Structure 1
Amino acid sequence: MGCVLVTGGSRGIGAAVALELGRRGERVCLTYRQDAESAATVCATIMAGGGVALPVRADMAEPEDIERLFATVDAEFGPVTGLVNNAAILEKQCRAEELDVERLRRVMAVNVIAPMLCARNAVRRMSTAHGGAGGAIVNVSSAAARLGSPGEYVDYAASKGALDTFTRGLALEVAGEGIRVNSVRPGFIYTEMHADGGEPGRVDRMAPTLPMGRGGRPEEVAEAIVWLLSEQASYVTGTFIDVAGGR
């Protein structure tokens, strides 16, 4: 029957996506790197509603973990039918001249290389050229790819710009093989990720500057992602949906 794989599904947007998919009857596999308790809680909530969910520990910076992840999904559910490349990292706010090479390697490994490796594995299973039945991939980018995030996270913004280019290229490459590839670009969303960058209250600080005057909720982003995965979006590929309050 397959399942939808959500990377970074233990918190924030990934958790909201996993929960919504579970409510809609999808079999869900979600990954986590450290927070096993939160991942287990998300899965328990899905299963309490009659759904099927599996947490898998995987460090997206490690190619071996990604290979093991897909092998685990194959064994438990069969080939993936949907992939949400959500896992991403950012580091402390800084200017470009303060960046160091190790930080850049970490950010690019998780935010660019990992989604490409996950997509590679998904295409091998989904593509009609490989005997698959098709599927859908949604890459979670960021409004930062358009805005550049000056003075804060230019490296993160650049990584999401790369993901946008990959989204478009892959979508065109596999459009005739039963696979749709799209992207959602969230703006200022209330998630724990901002604390990782050193400013937990960043969304509240920026909210007055946004056209809609407020930050977004993970559930609002999840709705767009789940729609792109669904048959209701069957003629949509190579497309970007900005969920950014008009920014």
Structure 2
Amino acid sequence: MKKVALVTGASRGIGKATALLLAEQGYDVGVNYRQDHIAANKVVEAIIAQGGKAVALQADIADEEQVVAMFARLMAELGPITALVNNAGILFQQSTIENLTAARINNVLSTNVTGYFLCCREAVKIMSARHGGNGGAIVNVSSAAARLGSPGEYVDYAASKGAVDTLTTGLSLEVAAQGIRVNGVRPGFIYTEMHASGGEAGRVDRVKSLLPMQRGGEPIEVAQAISWLLSDAASYVTGSFIELAGGK
């Protein structure tokens, strides 16, 4: 069966590493991005240069109409989806709860939670045996913050990832009999550009000495876990989480 993957937030960081790795493993890849078309196109070009097939798909996953349109274009250009990696996420400046606004909280939840739900919904409509599909696999990128809470920094982000974990567990049970596996990964302190969004680009280096493994993680290390969960090697794994936090 032809392997078609959609990776959201694939223009940088964990999403980029995952898109490139899946392409190496024979997937045709939809490279979703929200704004940076130059970076997304570079990922697509790299995949094509390796002999793979990919397409850049612009969509803000918090917007239902854009998500529906993205899946329609993926189907038209690459074929039925067999693997979904929900990776796109946002966070804002480090803050204690006193300075959190409803607008900020809702923005975080719209992308990090609603966006994941919408992408799962559209993928299930295609993958599910009940809808004539051939099954598939979904990996939701959560965070160690779902366990740790990110006090004094990103409690809103951590809460959104807690919701992602609940989605992963519930959906895995809901669609298991339809041939769809749903799992999650919980990265910890990974060297990605996201930390700059929180106002501290060097955050991983600041905290790495506090981690049992004494180092931050690389995007490819998360991508390898994601690709395994999507693969036939994990064919009896659903509703599970892989911790990628250096022992934290």
Q: Provide TM-score, normalisation by structure 2.
A: 0.98
Q: 1:142 deviation in Å?
A: 0.1
Q: Quote the Cα distance in structure 1 between the aligned partners of 2:5 and 2:57.
A: 13
Q: Contact conserved, 1:2 with 1:77, CA < 8 A, in 2?
A: no
Query: Letter of the aligned partner of 1:10 in structure 2?
Result: S
Partner of 2:152: 151
Partner of 2:136: 135
Partner of 1:78: 79
Q: Contact conserved, 2:3 with 2:27, CA < 8 A, in 1?
A: no
Runs of 4 or more consecutive aligned structure 1 residues displaced over 3 Å after TM superposition: none
Q: Quote the Cα distance in structure 2 between the aligned partners of 1:180 and 1:124.
A: 14
Partner of 1:188: 189
2:45 is equivalent to residue 53 of structure 1: no
Superposition CA RMSD, Å: 0.7
Q: Quote the Cα distance in structure 1 between the aligned partners of 2:157 and 2:245.
A: 17
The share of aligned pairs that are identical, in percent, is: 61
Give the alignment of 1:1-12 within 5 angstroms: 1=2, 3-12=4-13
Q: Quote the Cα distance in structure 1 between the aligned partners of 2:187 and 2:181.
A: 20
Query: Letter of the aligned partner of 1:104 in structure 2?
Result: I
Q: Quote the Cα distance in structure 1 between the aligned partners of 2:239 and 2:26.
A: 26
Query: Letter of the aligned partner of 1:109 in structure 2?
Result: S
Deviations 1:170-218 (A, max 9, x none): 0001111100000000000000000000000000001000000000000
Partner of 1:237: 238
Deviations 1:128-171 (A, max 9, x none): 01110000000000000000000000000000000000100000
Partner of 1:171: 172
Q: Contact conserved, 1:144 with 1:187, CA < 8 A, in 2?
A: yes
Give the alignment of 1:80-229 within 5 angstroms: 80-229=81-230
Runs (5+) with no aligned partner, structure 2: none
Q: 1:100 deviation in Å?
A: 0.3
Partner of 1:64: 65
Q: Quote the Cα distance in structure 1 between the aligned partners of 2:123 and 2:164.
A: 16
Query: Letter of the aligned partner of 2:84 in structure 1?
Result: L
Partner of 1:246: 247
Q: Quote the Cα distance in structure 1 between the aligned partners of 2:61 and 2:123.
A: 15
Question: Secondary structure, in 3 states, of the residue corresponding to 2:85?
Answer: strand
Q: Provide TM-score, normalisation by structure 1.
A: 0.99
Q: 1:2 deviation in Å?
A: 5.3
Runs (5+) with no aligned partner, structure 1: none
Question: Secondary structure, in 3 states, of the residue corresponding to 1:174?
Answer: helix
Q: Quote the Cα distance in structure 2 between the aligned partners of 1:212 and 1:145.
A: 20
